[in-house]
Amino acid sequence: MFKLPFELQFVGNEKAKKELGDVDNLTVEKVDKLAEEFLEDVKQDLIESKGWPVNMSSYIVSKAALNAYTRILAKKYPKIATNAVSPGFTKTDINQNTGTNTIEEAAEGPVKLALIADTGISGLYFELTEESTFE
């Protein structure tokens, strides 16, 4: 059983938490609809009043959606290894190189997942090279 995706701890929108946290009933259509609702709330300047994260809202919501899509694909295609991996806080231009991980360290997780594809490991979340949880 999967736990609530990590990014959702920053989301006060109860509908989003419920939909994205209900792994057994996740569908592409539900995730797409939530993403569309988020975009509409952004356009209407309603993110705070609708319970979306105020800081880095697009990043957090997109990561939560990506994790949901990972779970959906892993369930739909059990013979294909489908996992999510975070490179951690990596030194890149997006954070003015304030990250703690080098690009080489950040690449280790995706490479590890590519090399374990035939093991049957699927539907999981990795932080760098370590299996983690979606919470």
Q: What is the pLDDT of residues 82-117, one digit of tens each?
A: 998 888 889 999 899 999 999 999 999 999 988 887
Residues 6+ apart with CB under 8 A from 120: 81
* pTM as predicted: 0.80
Residues 6+ apart with CB under 8 A from 83: 70, 74, 113, 121, 122, 123, 124, 125, 126
Q: What is the pLDDT of residues 20-76, one digit of tens each?
A: 888 889 999 999 999 999 999 999 999 999 999 888 888 889 888 988 999 999 999
* Amino acid found at 127: E
Paired strand residues for 85? 126
Domain boundaries defined on the chain? 1-76, 79-135
Task: Please pick, among 59, 69, 77, 125, the residue that the annotation labels catalytic.
Answer: 59
Active site residue 77: no
- Helix, strand, coil shares of the chain, percent, nearest 5, are 55, 10, 40
